[in-house]
Amino acid sequence: MEAEPHSPESRRARRVDDLVAGLSLDEKLAQLVGVWLNVDREEGVVAPLQDAMQGEDVEFETFARHGLGHVTRHYGTRPVDPRWASTLLAERQRWLMDHTRPGIPALAHEECLTGLAAWRATTYPAPPAWGASFDPVLVERMARRIGEGMAALGVHQGLAPVLDVIRDQRWGRVEECVSEDPYEVAVVGAAYVRGLQSAGVIATLKHFVGYSNSRAGRNLAPVHAGPREVADTLLFPFEVAVRDAGAGSVMHSYAEIDGVPVAADPTYLTDLLRGAWGFEGTVVADYFGVAFLHTLHAVAEDAGDAAGQALTAGVDVELPTGVAYLEPLKEAVRSGRVSEDLVDRALRRVLTQKAALGLLDEDYEPVPSGPVDLDPPESREVARRLAEESVVLLANDGVLPLGDAAGRRVAVLGPNANSVAALFGCYAFVNHVLPQFPEVEAGIEAPTLLAALLAELPDAEVAHERGTGVDDGDRAGIPAAARLAASSDVAVLVLGDRSGLFGRGTSGEGCDVEALDLPGAQAELARAVLATGTPTVVVLLTGRAYAVPDVLKRAAAVVQAFFPGEEGAGAVARVISGAVNPSGRLPMSMPRSPSGQPYSYLHPRLGAASSVSNIDPAPALPFGHGLSYTRFAYADPAADETVPAGGSIRCAVTVRNAGERPGAEVVQVYASDTIASVTRPLAQLVGFARVELAPGQAARVAFDVPPRLLSFTGRDGRRVVEPGEVVLSVRRSAADVVAELPVTITGPVYEVTGAERRLTEVSVHVEPVPTRQGQEEEHS
C-alpha cells in the first residue's frame, strides 16, 4: 500500500529522493562512513588490527565537513560522564545540521550485547546465560530496558544481538553466543531484536554469516562449511530475526566461506538477504571489514577495489570509520572502476533509515538527555532475575542447598571467588574498556561471589583463600587453599575464566584456546581441594563449557554460570543457599574430553560413537541438561499420528511439580527424521517452554510445530519436507528422553516457499495450585 501523498512517510521519501539527487560525491560518501574519535591506537585494542587500521585522531569538524553517516561509540570508547557526553553529542548533531551543506544529523551507534557498553550502565548476563534461561520473554524485556537507556542518550543503533550458532567451543567468542542450537538462537535472538527496537533503537544482527564455524575455533580463520550446513544450521537465526522480528540492520561477518569473504559476496548480502528474505534495512561493515578484503583476505588489490567489491556485494556503511569508503572509493568512482549508482543505492538505504528515525524531519532537534541513571533499580531487577534463571546446577549429591549454614565453617576458594571481572564478558564495559583506565572505578555496584556469600550466609564462618590465579600458573597458594578446605565443613571452589580481548583473557574476542582444559593451574587446585574429602561445591564462572570430568565425578555439587553480570554473584549465592531454586539448562554441551571439538549435539548417526572408531565423542553433559531442588513428572504425551507434508504437527504433554518447593521446568521437544535423502541430526530441538509450577501443580504444554522446522536442504538444493516417519520426542535434555511420539508424514515431497511459519507456537495451560487437603488425599 502506497503512503498518502501528504503523510509523514511520503514527505520523508521525497526528502530522501531530493538528497540523493542533490548531494555531491563527497557528501554522498560521507553518509556511508562513521567517525571514531578519542581512540588509543596502541593500548587496549578492542577491534582486530585496530592499531594498524585506525588512522590518527582528527577533529570532528574536519572529518565531518561534508556530513557524516555514523558517530562510532561516542559513549563506549572511554569512561565519560553520560550527561556531559549527551550534551556533546547533541552539540555535534547541531553542528552537522548548521555547518554542513546537507544538514543531515548522524546516526549514533554503540555496542550493547550485555547492556549499553558505557560507563555506569547496567551490565546484564552474557548471551550463553540468555540461552541457559530458556526465557525469551525475559530476554525481550532486558533488551527493551537496554534500548530505553540508549534512546535517552540519543543513540540510534545497537550492535547486537550475536546470532552465531556455537560450533566449536575453543572459539573465544562463544561467550557472545546464545546456544549451539539454531532454533534456540533464533527464538532468543528474535526476542532481543523485538525488545531493543520497541524502544526505537535499531538492532544489528551479528555476524552474517559463518563466523562461528571457523577452522579449529580460531578467530577469523577460514570457514569450510558446505552450503547445506550454512543453509540448515547457520542461516536460520538470521532469517527469523529479519523476517519475523524485523531487524533494521545486519553486520557482515569477517569470515570467508569456501574461499569467498562474506563482505564481498552478493549471494548472501543481496540475493539471499534482500532478494529472498525481503530485508530493507542497512548492511554495516564489521569494524575495518571492508579494508580487510585487501589487507587480510587479499581478494582486492587496494582499498578502492575493496570498497567497490563490498559496495557491489551490498555493504552500505563502512564502520568504524572511513578507511575505504572515502578517498579510495571516491577515486574508484571517478576513474570508472565503481559505478556511482552503487553509491546511490547504499546512500538511499542509509537516508531512508535516518528518515524513519526522524533525523531528516524539519522539526528534528537534538536534545541532551539531562540527568540520567543508566543503572536504575528496574534494570537491576531484570538483571537479577535473568541471572537467577540462568544458573545451571550440573551435579548435586544432596549437599545443596546449604540453607543458612549457621555455625558451619565455609571455605570460599579459587581465583574467581573475589573477582568482579569474573562476572562479565569481553563486551561488558568493565572488561572491554576500563582495563585501559585502572584509575577509574567500575561505576556499577557488582559484589564478588565472596561478598555475596558473606551476605547470604551471615551466620556461617566464612574464610577465603585464592589458591591460584585464573591463568598465571602460580601454584604457591594451592597448599593454603587445601588446608583451609580440610579444616572447613564445606568448601565453595570458584573457578573459570577471565574475559578479555585479543590475548588479554582466557575467553573473549581473540582469546581462543587449543583445548578445553581449565586455564592455568586451576585443575591442580581443584584436585587438591577435592582430595581433602571436604564436601565441595564447585562454581564455574566462564564464557564457555570446559571439560571437567573429574570435577563432575568428585565434587559434591557443580554450579555453572555464564558471566552472569552485575547481579550474578548474588544469584549464584542464592542458588547455593537455596533461596533460589536453580532452573537454568545448558545452552551448549559440556565436553568430556578437552580435545573433543568441534562438537554439536546436532550430529547424524556417524557423528556418535560407533564400532568404526575407538573415540566416543559423547559430551559429559548434554545440551539442555540442568538439575533442580524439586522434581518434575511427565504424563499423557500425545501427538498427531498423521499429517500432510506441508502441515504442522501438534503435540502436548502434562508436566507436574512432584516435589515440595516451587520450581521451573524447561519442557523440550525434539524431532528426528528416521530416513531421509540426506543425513539428518539424530535429534533437533523444535520447541521449548519454560514452565513455573508450585508444589503439586501441573500444566498441559502444547506445541504446534510448523513444517519449516521439519525441512532440510535436499540433494538438489531445494528446501523440502519429505514424506515418511518423523519421531517427536519430549525430553529433559537432548539425551534424556521422556516420551517418543511417531508421526507419519504423507503425500508428495513438499517444497518450502518461505511463507511458512518459522517458529513453533506454544501454549501452556497451568492448573490451579492444589490445596493442602487435596495433596494429602492424593498422597494417601
Separation between Cα atoms, residue 491 and residue 535, nearest integer Å: 6
Cell of 656: 507436574
Catalytic annotation present for 286: yes
The secondary structure of 551-603 as a DSSP string is HHHHSSEEEEEE---TTHHHHHHHHHHTSS------SS-B-SSTT--S--S--
Separation between Cα atoms, residue 539 and residue 577, nearest integer Å: 13
Question: Catalytic pick from 265, 286, 316, 497?
Answer: 286
467 and 480 Cβ atoms separated by less than 8 Å: yes
534 and 488 Cβ atoms separated by less than 8 Å: yes
Query: Nearest to residue 77, comparing CAs of 130, 27, 132, 39?
Result: 39
* Longest pairwise C-alpha distance within the chain: 89
Q: Count of CB atoms within 10 A of residue 321's CB?
A: 22
- Residue 713 forms beta bridges with which residues? 719
737 and 705 Cβ atoms separated by less than 8 Å: no
Nearby residues of 692 by Cβ (< 8 Å), 6 or more positions away: 662, 663, 664
One-letter amino acid at 338 equals V
Question: Catalytic pick from 26, 40, 224, 373?
Answer: 224
Residue 654: phi and psi, rounded to 5, are -100, 130
Query: Nearest to residue 730, comparing CAs of 681, 777, 688?
Result: 688
Which bin fits 686, alpha (ψ -120 to 50), beta or left (φ > 0)? alpha
Catalytic annotation present for 224: yes
Burial profile 746-769: b = 16 or more Cβ within 10 angstroms, e = fewer = eeeebebeeebebbbebeeeeeeb
Calculate the dihedral angle through the C-alpha atoms of 525, 526, 532, 534, rounding to the nearest 10 degrees.
Answer: 130
Residue with cell 585496530: 50
Active site residues: 224, 286
